[in-house]
Amino acid sequence: MTDLVLSPAQRPLVGSVPVPSDKSIGHRALLLGALCHGKSRIAGYAGGEDNAATRRAFESMGVAFEVDKGEIRPRGVGLFGLRAPDRELDCGNSGTTMRLLCGLLSAQTFASRLVGDESLSRRPMLRVVAPLRMRGARISGEPHPTKPGDLTAPLRIDALAEDEHPSALEYALPVASAQVKSALLLSGLYAHGATTLREPTLSRDHTERMLLSLGVPLRTLGPMVELAPAGWNGMMPAFDVTLPGDVSAAAFLIAAAVTVPSSRISVRGVGTNPTRTGILEIARDMGVELVIEPQGESGGEPVANLHVGGSAIPHGAKVGGELVPRAIDEIPALCVIAARAEGVTRIVDAAELRVKESDRIAAMTDVLRAFGVPCEPAADGLTIEGVGARPLRPASIESRGDHRIAMAAAVLALAATGKSRIRDVACIQTSFPRFVGTLRALGADVAVEES
User: Which residues, at least 6 apart from 90, have a Cβ–Cβ distance to it below 8 Å?
Assistant: 53, 56, 57, 115, 116
d(CA 271, CA 210): 14
pLDDT at 111: 98
Tens digit of each residue's pLDDT, the chain (451 residues): 999 999 999 999 999 999 999 999 999 999 999 999 999 999 999 888 999 999 999 999 999 999 988 899 999 999 999 999 989 999 999 999 999 999 999 999 999 999 999 989 999 999 999 999 999 999 999 999 888 999 999 999 999 999 999 999 999 999 999 999 999 999 999 999 999 999 999 999 999 999 999 999 999 999 999 999 999 999 999 999 999 999 999 999 999 999 999 999 999 999 999 999 999 999 999 999 999 999 998 777 999 999 999 889 999 999 999 999 999 999 999 999 999 999 999 999 999 999 898 999 999 999 999 999 999 999 999 999 999 999 999 999 999 999 999 999 999 999 999 999 999 999 999 889 999 999 999 999 999 999 8
pLDDT at 154: 97
| DSSP H/E element including 41 | strand 41-43
Strand partners, 219: 226
* Eight-state DSSP code of residue 187: H
pLDDT tens for residues 360-405?
999 999 999 999 999 999 999 999 999 999 999 999 999 999 999 9
Tell me the CA distances in angstroms from 287 to 14, 24, 284, 317, one per residue in order. 20, 28, 5, 10
pLDDT at 310: 84
Contact between 419 and 14 under an 8 Å Cβ cutoff? The reply is: no
What is the set of domains in the chain, with CATH numbers? 2-21+244-450 (3.65.10.10), 23-242 (3.65.10.10)
Which residues belong to the active site? 329
pLDDT at 355: 87
Measured in whole angstroms, the distance separating CA 448 from the mean position of its chain's CA atoms is 25
pLDDT tens for residues 408-434?
999 999 999 999 999 999 999 988 999
278: number of Cβ within 10 Å: 24
Tell if the pTM clears 0.85, that is, is over it. Answer: yes
d(CA 409, CA 131): 37
d(CA 408, CA 322): 23
Phi and psi at residue 372, to the nearest 5° = 90, 20
* Eight-state DSSP code of residue 186: H
Tell me the CA distances in angstroms from 90 to 308, 324, 419, one per residue in order. 39, 30, 37
In terms of phi and psi (left: phi > 0; alpha: psi -120 to 50; beta: otherwise), the region of 44 is left
- Dihedral angle sign, alpha carbons of residues 108, 110, 116, 121: positive
324: number of Cβ within 10 Å: 23
